[in-house]
Chains A and B, each alone.
Chain A
Amino acid sequence: MRKLITTLSQLVLPISVMMLLIVINLIKGVDYFNITLVNGALYGNIPNILFGASELVILSIGMTLVTAASQGQDISIGVNATISSAVFVLFVLHAGEVTLLVIVAGFLLSCVAGLVLGAFNGTLVSVFKVQPMVASLILFTGGRSIAFMIDGKLSPILANDISNQIGTVIPGVPIQTPIILTAIFIALVAVLFKTTNLRLYVETVGINPNAARLNGINPKKIIFLTFLIMGVCSAVAGFIAVNKAGRHDSVNQLKLIMMDAILAVAIGGNSLIGGKFSITGSIIGAYTIEMLNRTLLRLEIEPAMIKVFKAVFIIILMVVASPVVRVYFSKTLDRVRTWRLTTTIPKDAMVSTGKKEE
């Protein structure tokens, strides 16, 4: 029970933002939660958010791990997803008849591509000690050209039934397939955390790499591992994105999604300089961002202005959640508490200790 409370207290920020957005939406129209059945599948505001956020959710899981262990961010994730999905598309288009087996094989191949890309970034960061953002800048800059070289023409079309079903709905299943795939992925991540010491190792490395080494953990290996996981996340996100769109677009697919992924990690209450992390927070953060995007659309804000509103909203959010404000509030709270508790203790006994010797 106590554990539940501490978990919840870490998630105060993302959950309260979500609540705020729901309230705004309900004020705009009470039909916010309405769900309609079209052709046997569920549609509505909430399913649309779950559908739209699927790539972002998957990428922010990887971003959380990379951030926690390497104390920096991977900005090449959108590009990596594009490259690995180009591999997938190439394989499927050359396979002749498209069967489920071909799709699965193509997906696994794209995962291998994702692992290679992750290993590239991971090697730069863990072995050569390049800062994550600089290391991933290489693929961020050059990666889309690689994707273009792989897919050959500007945007090859995936015109087959299976891809269509993966991108939208499978007949007879009421929930859109990307939502299901995301749920499966989250479940697999949960299993990974349950069956390994990933959390303990990553947090230890992120907080104190020296101590980690003296306790037998190899920080290089762990950082490398998080980049590998990031690579798989990119491949899965690319797979979903390309099937959703029905075509591969080397130029615009998942463009600038890493910014939203980093934001999701931050909204999730995670420190961007590594250490303790909450995957749940990042997932909620990712859904919150999608909700925010759709809320602004629903409020009929001019498309050109949406980014401004989003920026303002995020600035306010970040200031409210900043350590400065948090410390101020907790101090005020403390002061109120001590004032209530003590009227007898002399004042100077309450003066907090400011300086400390090294």
Chain B
Amino acid sequence: MLSETILEMKGISKSFPGVKALNGVDFKLRKGEIHAVMGENGAGKSTLIKVITGVYEKDSGLITLQGEPIHFKTPQEAQNRGIGTVYQEIMLCPNLTVAENMFIGRSRNPVVNWKQMNNKAAQLLESLGIPASPLQELTSCSLAVQQMIAIARAVDMDCKILILDEPTSSLDEDEVHKLFALMLELKARGVGIIFITHFLEQVYEISDRITVLRNGKLIGEYETSSLSQIELISKMLGNKLEDITKIKKHEPLVSDSTIPVLEGVGLSSAAGVRPFDFTIQKGEVNGFAGLLGSGRSESVRAIFAADKVTSGEIRMNGKRVKIKNPLDAIKQGIGYLPEDRKGDGIIADLSVRDNIILALQVMKGFFKPFSLKQTEAFADEYIRKLNIKTPTPNTPIKSLSGGNQQKVILARWLLTNPEYLILDEPTRGIDVGTKVEIQKLVIKLAEEGMSLTFISSEIGEMLRTCSRLIVMKDREIVGELRGTDLSENDVMTMIAQGGESKCAN
């Protein structure tokens, strides 16, 4: 009975202009199983989900629900056929009651039978063991309970398949376990659950099977118990062979007595990273390695004070400095290229020129604007130096390609002539050519004496450019690797072992 298939997908393909998001992917969900879908960003997980739920239409392939071919055109249709979805952000109305949230938009009847609705909600909450009352306002529930109510809303109406897209990312450990209890309850009822998360531990704790995707292709389906963490990680990351093996990394010339350019002790921030120590030498390139959500970005953001710093102290060249906000950091000679280019990096409507001069201008001060001539000179210099492809310096940055936008942000920081430059995922979502250019630039800058931190989801890139890797897992530093002949295997072993040693504690 347990192996009865409810959802089967065969040879699913889906293309967007310029990208093949899914390429002949097979997927099988059985009754009463929790099935994790794993892969790095851009692997095609969300596209797969959206094809199932009818947000996107597949280009080719076959989907059968309990043996019957289906083709959903809208999410509503999928919902009516018993496929419920809960997303990462809770998509409920905070100012309505629990019962209202569970049944809103469900009935076509213009008159609401409040009593019946509240009774039904109470029953459902009780049967699922959710600690909430139907008449309670949603905001008065904890995040985990809200997430559970979202699930209750989805599983009501004879749900056969429940899709959970990163439901645990905003929950703490305790809340996660409450959510898992609910998932097990639903599993026992025969609901097939598709579970997407970046947390490896959670996958091993709750899932029965794992399907791994990479670059829109199916890598395989595995029994969780027969796949070790390290195998999973290597399957997720793959061996991305690119023709940039020639990049030669730079070793900083340091002795033990050298004072580091930047030294942080016990740093932590409001974004929730465990206190950590960090040092970087002149001319060194180091990197934070780890899977998504492991706390790489949170760590560098803590150094730059991009999130509220909650503890720790920073010394630059041996002198204690106060860095309370990004402006302090910039004035101390630190630059930070953020991970989220669109959300935190570019000023979309402003010209390439304004985007380039921004940080230096802010550093110079509100009452000291550069002359137009000066800004034009700066922009022209860096457009040429970094080979930024833009029609004119006055073109709004939003009309440039991703790679060129990233180069503009790089130019912005290089213009401030920082002592220490943090690059958080500078190569994400940009073309291969620009990726190589950026990596070469990192090496060149280090040779000129700049200290850099380089973070990338592609471990290969980091191995090529960094002389020291700080390995993170679950928002904690689990180890450090140095030397010129590191391999991806070393990193993966450390990520996997870091978890094991933690479990043993």
Contact = CB atoms under 8 A, between A and B. Distances in A.
A216 B346 contact: no
Interface in A192-219: 194-198, 200-201, 203-204, 207-208, 210-218
B347 A208 contact: yes
A244 interface: no
A210 B344 contact: yes
A276 B345 CA distance: 17
A204 B368 CA distance: 17
Contacts of B343: 208, 210-211
A211 B327 contact: no
B348 A200 contact: no
B244 interface: no
Interface stretch (A47-55, A150-158, A349-357): A349-357
Interface string B332-362: 0000101000011111111000100011011
A106 interface: no
A207 B362 contact: no
Interface string A210-238: 11111111100000000000000000000
A201 B366 CA distance: 8
Interface residues of A, number: 31
B363 A203 contact: no
Interface in B278-325: 304, 306, 325
Interface string B352-383: 00100011011101111100000000000000
Given A217-B362, A353-B17, A355-B17, A204 B394 contact: no
Contacts of A198: 366
Nearest to A208: B347
A354 to B, nearest CB: 8
Contacts of B47: 357
A201 B348 CA distance: 14
A6 interface: yes
Given A275-B349, A357-B16, A358-B46, A214 B344 contact: yes
A355 B344 contact: no
Contacts of A357: 16, 19, 21, 47
A208 B46 contact: no
Nearest to A216: B327
Given A204-B350, A204-B358, A207-B347, A197 B327 contact: no
A2 interface: yes
A120 B367 CA distance: 25
B411 interface: no
A172 B336 CA distance: 61
Given A197-B369, A214-B306, A204 B363 contact: no
Contact of A214 (B331, B338, B361): B338
Nearest to B42: A357
Contacts of B392: 2
A184 B5 CA distance: 79
Contacts of A213: 306, 325-326
Interface string B144-181: 00000000000000000000000000000000000000
A207 B344 contact: no
A2 B362 CA distance: 26
A3 B393 CA distance: 11
A215 B349 contact: no
B349 A207 contact: yes
A203 B369 contact: no
A357 B325 CA distance: 34
Contacts of B336: 214
Contacts of B366: 196-198, 201
B463 interface: no
B358 A218 contact: no
Interface in A287-323: none
A12 B12 CA distance: 50
Contact of B345 (A196, A211, A275): A211
16 contacts: A2-B394, A6-B394, A195-B369, A196-B369, A200-B350, A203-B350, A207-B350, A211-B343, A211-B344, A214-B304, A215-B412, A276-B350, A355-B16, A355-B17, A356-B16, A357-B21
Given A214-B326, A218-B327, 16 more contacts: A194-B369, A196-B367, A198-B366, A200-B350, A200-B354, A207-B348, A208-B344, A208-B346, A211-B338, A211-B343, A213-B325, A214-B306, A216-B330, A276-B350, A355-B16, A358-B46
